[in-house]
Chains A and B, each alone.
Chain A
């Protein structure tokens, strides 16, 4: 097991290197000079000497590969540089925003599970019933709607028409209490959860249906086990295995989707920072955000794979044999 975890962690390193290289070259070919952009927003003019000095300080005068390698070496020591825009330390600024994004992601995943788990199970257990149709409708419509547009519809309904929830709010559990936090996060998290709830419902339904048709389930029933035990003791655990994979894979989508959702709800997360930094050509900031987001994503995926191995003995067995 430990060998497996170490192997997965080592595999993440080349992935991060390649991703950072991709982003680095992308920014390198980007037209638009960051110094000009900052100057135009501040309405300032500087002498060529000052410009050369700034370029030197930011390392813009050095060749491409040199810049990339110095970035990698600094990143390994936890130094992602300073923001062109604010002069703040990139690592600190992104990490200060990360909790907001992670909270949004986690809560929306919980909401997605709260909807998809009962609905998917009901649809499978009462195959071809009203619940089954409802699940299918939710799954197809949920995937077809733009997530951010669903968020806007939620704002129109719950904030503007009914006045129940705030459209723009941010609260933390520690400072504002749980209820306020819930009121602030419920709309953005629900809008982000929509797509995931849809795919999960579908997945849980089909996976459960498949498992219910297996011989061991029929055997458990023929043994005279109560239906409750058959479903929760035998079928459920096995049906969840493919679902966990899907949940892991969806996290990347959630982190990406959070970019637009945060924009709509003015949620102070990493996604909003990313959009602002991209429009201002804040190279160190964009680099830092993509690198840290990918690290989070890879880390969560490793966790998912480990939990996968813990739940399914077959996977442990295979990896041991190898």
Chain B
């Protein structure tokens, strides 16, 4: 779990460092003799217009979902207007009402909390599994490496959605189990990336020095090797969040989500299924929300990829 915390804290660092760089932009970083690695990354990221647009979009979306009560007066679960079902968008209800008379806009806002959180948690758990496997495989090499990577390849060769559905069937439908089944199926990417990174750095002098100093293996792995793989992991983490939001929506659409009143974007799509012909907006709206969110996340991911790439710098 410890690397999971690190990932979170590094992620928080990136936006937090942003204002400092923006202020520093006036004096010009080029004139400074030495810039730190993370400052370089943030500077490159902020130069990328599309990535910044993505970041702003995501901040707006996350803010609106977290502060949902500020933007709607309806409760997504208890405000049910049986006399006012399937109202088209516009009028008193901004985006209309659903099949039992709940306000779609408020369900969209509150549902975003669940959907985005699902994506983030899936990515974090997948990273925790995959990074650990990748670190161990790359660092120890030999039989351990061969076995772990063979297993990773097998997981990669499996149509993962089918495995996720099978796991859902085994565990039962709930939001928690959607997270588990997607995390269990999306770690192999992390394992492969981390391993290749570890292989590239494990013979460098500072790792040798750490070994000579008789540091324990976990300490070398998590304190010395892991921080150097952080760039790759953060990129993969971002892209996995987007993918997980999409897959979670797919599972929910297949009816794998718990049939409770709690709003969630995939479940909203599932609710709108019977009314596709008569009330298409019930399907269109949650899908647009998913697409915009994933688009923003992917733009951020692309921006990070360029920012971390040393070839793109200077």
Surface stretch bound by B, among A59-67, A114-122, A151-159: A151-159
Are A294 and B287 in contact, CB atoms less than 8 angstroms apart? no
Asked if B166 and A149 make an inter-chain contact with CB atoms under 8 angstroms apart, the answer reads no
Q: How many A-B residue pairs have CB under 8 A?
A: 127
Please give, as numbers and ranges, the residues of chain A lying within 8 Å of B212 by CB-CB distance. Answer: none
The answer to the question of B21 belonging to the interface, with a C-beta cut-off of 8 Å to chain A, is no
Q: Which residues of B contact A31 (CB under 8 A)?
A: 170, 172
Pair B166/A23 contact, Cβ less than 8 Å: yes
- B269–A149 touching, CB < 8 Å: yes
List, in ascending order, chain A residues with CB within 8 A of B151's CB. 18
- Which of B38-46, B83-91, B98-106, B293-301 faces chain A? B293-301
- From residue 127 to 145 of chain A, which have CB atoms closer than 8 A to chain B? 140-141, 143-145
Stretch at the interface among B5-13, B153-161, B220-228: B153-161
Question: B157 is contacted by which of A141, A155, A156, A301 (Cβ under 8 Å)?
Answer: A301
Q: Is B126 an interface residue (CB 8 A)?
A: no
- Indicate whether B167 reaches chain A with its CB closer than 8 angstroms: yes
Beyond A26-B170, A27-B170, A144-B242, whether A290 also contacts B162 by CB under 8 A is yes
Residues of B within 8 A of A78 (CB): none
Q: Is the CB of A259 within 8 A of B165?
A: yes
Instruction: Assess whether A279 is interfacial by the CB under 8 Å rule.
Output: yes
Q: Is the CB of B284 within 8 A of A153?
A: yes
Q: Write the chain A residue with the least CB distance to B286.
A: A149
Contacts of B157 in A (CB 8 A): 15, 19, 252, 294, 297-298, 301
Q: Is A160's CB under 8 angstroms from B277's CB?
A: yes
B250's nearest neighbour on chain A, judged by CB, is: A260
Given contacts A18-B151, A152-B287, contact A146 B250 (CB under 8 A): yes
B280 at the interface (CB under 8 A from A): yes
CB distance from A117 to the nearest CB of B (A): 22
Is B290 located at the chain interface by the 8 A CB criterion? yes
Q: How far is the CA of A274 from the CA of B283 in the complex (A)?
A: 25
Q: Is A41 an interface residue (CB 8 A)?
A: no
Give Cα distance in the complex from A14 to B254, angstroms: 31
Per-residue CB proximity of B122-153 to A under 8 Å, as 1/0?
00000000000000000000000000001101
B161→A260 contact, CB < 8 A: yes
Considering the chains assembled together, what is the distance between the CA atoms of A281 and B157 in angstroms?
Answer: 24
For window 150-189 of B, CB contacts with A under 8 Å fall at 150-151, 153-154, 156-163, 165-167, 169-170, 172
B196: Cβ under 8 A from any A Cβ: no
For this complex, 29 residue pairs linking A to B, each with C-beta atoms less than 8 Å apart, are A14-B150, A15-B154, A18-B151, A19-B154, A19-B158, A22-B163, A31-B172, A143-B242, A145-B287, A145-B294, A146-B249, A146-B287, A146-B290, A149-B287, A149-B290, A152-B269, A152-B283, A152-B287, A153-B283, A156-B276, A160-B277, A260-B250, A260-B253, A263-B254, A290-B163, A290-B166, A297-B158, A297-B159, A298-B157
Other A-B pairs, 20, CB within 8 Å; known A27-B170, A144-B242: A15-B157, A22-B163, A30-B170, A140-B298, A141-B295, A146-B269, A148-B250, A149-B291, A153-B283, A160-B277, A252-B159, A259-B159, A259-B161, A259-B165, A275-B165, A278-B169, A279-B169, A294-B159, A297-B158, A301-B157
